[in-house]
């Protein structure tokens, strides 16, 4: 009986896998718009799983949801749809985590970071208009990996403490990176680590700068007609996995020790750096 059931099950499993492969492989039919997701539970489930994973990491480490979401979703969906939808999801994540950790925010850090980030976003926009941004990714990858090697050599908890004014140049760097690549996390992470914030303050303060970045880029995407009503409604359909990922990740964040948190941030930065180099 088991053998018969097993033989009968193989064709059905194979057909399901083949159908999934064809659906995922045909990017022309894959879309994050409401009209596609509501009629394709499989695409909805795949996108939802990726989003859940990305925001689980975001809640644990404090950043990285945009990188993970864009990297994986663009294997299936058009990048012109992925980036605006991920922006809205990141905006939601920043608001929720920022509200949860509001009392832990370090406002002196933000007073230096935010003006620099705004300047950097403007500079990055001009660079993007006149330059092939892809040619600049190697420099960013080298910077990130060099910082990771430096931090590991010094040991994350023994990094030198830098002064508040360093927030402006590193905020500018983060803003430029945000304009060119959709997320200016690495320079901001380096700054906050060398300010020796505890894990809760680190996560809370990062949400403040991420929220500023997301709002400014949101206006830009609306002005460029990259964010449509269909995509905005598609975003609403992906809110449940965001909430689940943040809830599950926050449980781990509250349990891990400071050293594990620092090593986790460096591990994610290593992945980012290698991505930009490759």
Q: Is 52 part of a structural domain of the chain?
A: yes
Asked if pLDDT for residue 276 goes beyond 50, the answer is: yes
Is 66 within a domain? Answer: yes
Instruction: Give 142 or 110, the one with higher predicted confidence.
Output: 110
Which residues span the domain enclosing 167? 33-277
Asked, for residue 11, whether it belongs to a domain, the answer is no
- Residues above pLDDT 90, as percent of the chain: 4
Residue 26 has pLDDT above 50, yes or no: no
Q: Read off the pLDDT band of 194 (50, 70, 90).
A: confident
- Cβ atoms of 51 and 245 within 8 Å: the answer is yes
Confidence check: pLDDT of 251 > 50? yes
Q: DSSP assignment of the chain, as one string? A: -HHHHHHHHHHHHHHHHHHHHHHHH-TTT---SHHHHHH-HHHHHHHHHHHHHHHHHHHHHS--HHHHHHHHHTTTS-HHHHHHHHHHHHHHHHHHHHHHTGGG--HHHHHHHHHHHHHHHHHHHHHHHHS-GGGGHHHHHHHHHHHHHHHHHH-GGGPPPPPGGGHHHHHHHHHHHHHHHS--HHHHHHHHHHTT--HHHHHHHHHHHHHHHHHHHHHHHHHTT-S-HHHHHHHHHTHHHHHHHHHHHHHHHTTS-HHHHHHHHHHHHHHHHHHHH-
Rounded mean pLDDT of 74-80? 78
Mean predicted confidence (pLDDT) in 201-225: 78
How many Å apart are CA 102 and CA 109, to the nearest integer?
A: 14
What mean pLDDT is predicted for residues 102-114?
84
Structure tokens at 185: 């996390």
Confidence of residue 15 (pLDDT cuts 50, 70, 90): low
Q: Are 181 and 133 in contact (CB under 8 A)?
A: yes
Instruction: Check: CB of residue 238 under 8 Å from CB of residue 42.
Output: no
Res. 74: pLDDT tops 80: no
Tens of pLDDT, residue by residue over 116-169, are 888 887 777 666 555 555 556 676 677 778 777 877 776 766 777 888 888 888
Summary mean pLDDT of the chain: 76
Residue 277 burial (CB count, 10 A): 14
> What pLDDT was estimated at residue 9?
47
Residue 92 covered by a domain: yes
pLDDT score recorded for residue 29: 58
Percent of the chain with pLDDT strictly greater than 70: 79
CB atoms within 10 A of CB 210: 29
| Domain membership flag for residue 261 | yes
| Residue 244 predicted with pLDDT over 90 | yes
| pLDDT for res 28 | 45
The better pLDDT of the pair 80, 23 is held by: 80
Is pLDDT larger for residue 155 or for residue 202?
A: 202
| pLDDT tens track for 30-72 | 777 777 778 788 888 888 999 998 898 888 877 777 777 877 8
Domain count for the chain, please give it: 1
The pLDDT assigned to 41 comes to 84
Bigger pLDDT: 128 or 93?
93
Contact 154, 160 (CB under 8 A): yes
């Amino acid at each position: 009986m088991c053998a018969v059931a097993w033989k009968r099950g193989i064709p059905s499993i194979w057909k399901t896998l083949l159908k999934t492969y064809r659906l995922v492989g045909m990017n022309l039919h894959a879309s994050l718009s409401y009209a596609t997701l509501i009629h394709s539970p499989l695409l909805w489930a795949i996108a939802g799983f990726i989003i859940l994973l990305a925001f689980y990491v975001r809640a644990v480490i404090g950043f990285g949801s945009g990188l993970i979401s864009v990297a994986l979703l663009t294997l299936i969906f058009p990048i012109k749809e992925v980036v605006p939808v991920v922006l809205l999801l990141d905006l939601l994540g920043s608001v929720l985590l920022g509200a949860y950790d509001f009392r832990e925010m370090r406002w002196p850090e933000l007073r230096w970071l935010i003006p620099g980030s705004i300047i950097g976003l403007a500079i990055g926009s001009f660079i993007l208009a006149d330059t092939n941004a892809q040619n600049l990714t190697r420099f960013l990858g080298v910077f990130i990996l060099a910082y990771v090697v430096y931090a590991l050599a010094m040991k994350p908890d023994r990094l030198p403490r830098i002064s508040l004014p360093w927030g402006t140049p590193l905020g500018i760097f983060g803003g430029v990176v945000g304009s060119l690549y959709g997320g200016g996390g690495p320079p901001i992470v380096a700054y906050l680590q060398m300010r020796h914030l505890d894990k809760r303050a680190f996560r809370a303060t990062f949400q403040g700068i991420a929220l500023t970045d997301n709002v400014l880029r949101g206006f830009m995407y609306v002005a460029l007609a990259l964010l449509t009503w269909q995509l905005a409604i598609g975003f609403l359909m992906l809110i449940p996995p965001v909430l689940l990922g943040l809830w599950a990740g926050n449980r781990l964040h509250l349990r891990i020790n400071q050293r594990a948190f620092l090593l986790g941030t460096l591990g994610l930065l290593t992945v980012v750096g290698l991505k930009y180099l490759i």
